[in-house]
Amino acid sequence: MIDLLLHPAVLGLAMVLTFMTLIMTKRMSAIAALLLIPILFGLVAGAGPKLGEMILTGVGQVAPTALMLSFAVLYFAIMMDAGLFDPLVRKVLSIVGEDPLRIAIGTAVLAMVVSIDGDGTTTVLIVVSAMLPVYRRIGMNPLILLTLLGLSNSLMNYVPWGGPAARAATAVRVDLGQVVGPMLLPAAVGLMGIVAMAWMFGHAERRRLGVSSAGLVRASASGAPLAVDDAEAQATRRPRLFWFNVVLTVCLILGMVLGLAPLPVLMMAGFAIAATVNYPSVKDQKARIAAHADNVVNVVVLIFAAGAFTGILNGTGMSAAMANAALSIIPPQIGPYLAPITAVVSLPLTFVMSNDAYYFGVVPVIANAAANFGIEPAAIARASLIGQPVHSMSPLLAPIYLACGLVGVDVADAQRFSLKWSALICLLVLSVAMLTGAIPIAGAG
């Protein structure tokens, strides 16, 4: 009995469930839970002498991401302070007005367009910077912004240059086109589903805020008139440097997309230039950094803590054992249905595992088992993509911490609000994929 309880798969499952329970019930902060829970279970697993090495390995793997995000937060914070996004906000407002319905739909469409480059971090920075002032202006629920952003970005990551599609194809050793091509229609329907969801959110916010069908907000959520920028915010604006900031930001994003240099290097250089040109005074630069220091610290510390968590999860063998245990309990009679099963199971697995661990650790094992039932590896690769909308809310994913930090909401609150909608979009995409044959209902063997 004791041996069973100490099995890596059992310990891994218990660790993940304990972690999720504690942060979802707010009994522990995400940072503390990400650090203390894996250490505790690592000690129980007998990995005490090696825990330090595992943690450092995990932290080392996320260090470039933490470095990049720390300077990215500062860069885009300075751009917001300088007023770079003011014209964009005014343009968005001129199109969507102050109508929550149009704002919600605009959020989804903007996130889809920006996500074309396949990078979640860039999408978060641009969409949140552009849309958050609009949400705050009329008092809309910022959790709607996070939900539409995450869902849109996750489905747009089906593009060939998106990380999940490339990982899935590589994991099962098939051509990328075989994975992406058949999933284009299901993804397109999923994107339309997100727009429909935005329409529903918009109608609900209309009712909550007391907005007429013409889109005229009578008052903010607190009942006060819509606020304008205060004097302090106006003092940080640099309207004369608008076009310089536009060119700098465009060059920075192009550099990210084209891979001209490592992302941390690009963000560090971009921040240095932006801070020096917009706020030449050292005193002003310190003031801008201090004004956004909380966001930087929260994002970086959470990412390092997540690295420690995954370092122990992988280093102790819990991650691999959980995957193998899940496969071992599948009865032979349901083997022919492994493709849709893989799709459904991808929702919880991608939530508690990194994409690398899932696609390179779990998917190849499933593909090998499915081949015995006449299911092509490409079909398993396509099925493994279904859970990406849920994965976008994973506590092990860096962009969710960045997005929540910028918006100013707790990660657990964002997850509680978004997960049911993420699962709904997953099931919509799965349904269309099965109808079109992209994911076969049963194998041929």
Q: Tens of pLDDT along 293-339?
A: 887 887 788 778 888 888 898 889 887 787 677 667 767 778 788 89
| CA dist., res. 291 & res. 270, Å (int) | 19
| CA dist., res. 403 & res. 418, Å (int) | 13
**Residue 73 is assigned to a structural domain of this protein:** yes
pTM: 0.67
Number of domains in the chain: 1
Reported confidence tier of residue 374, pLDDT bands at 50, 70, 90: confident
Give the pLDDT confidence score for residue 68 in this predicted structure: 78
Mean pLDDT of 221-241: 61
**Residue 218 is assigned to a structural domain of this protein:** yes
Cβ(412)–Cβ(26) below 8 Å: yes
| CA dist., res. 159 & res. 256, Å (int) | 17
Residue with tokens 């240099």: 261
Reported confidence tier of residue 165, pLDDT bands at 50, 70, 90: confident
Reported confidence tier of residue 232, pLDDT bands at 50, 70, 90: low
pLDDT tens digits for range 101-158:
989 998 998 888 777 655 677 678 778 877 888 888 888 999 999 999 999 988 988 8
**Residue 98 is assigned to a structural domain of this protein:** yes
**Residue 427 is assigned to a structural domain of this protein:** yes
User: Smallest Cα–Cα separation from 364: which of 347, 380, 351, 352?
Assistant: 380
**Residue 141 is assigned to a structural domain of this protein:** yes
What is the extent of the structural domain holding 41?
Answer: 2-436
Beta-carbon neighbour count of residue 230 at 10 Å?
Answer: 8
**Residue 441 is assigned to a structural domain of this protein:** no
Reported confidence tier of residue 223, pLDDT bands at 50, 70, 90: very low
| CA dist., res. 214 & res. 136, Å (int) | 20
Mean pLDDT of 261-285: 92
Give the pLDDT confidence score for residue 2 in this predicted structure: 64
User: What would the two tokens of residue 261 be?
Assistant: 């240099």
Reported confidence tier of residue 384, pLDDT bands at 50, 70, 90: very high
**Residue 443 is assigned to a structural domain of this protein:** no
**Residue 442 is assigned to a structural domain of this protein:** no
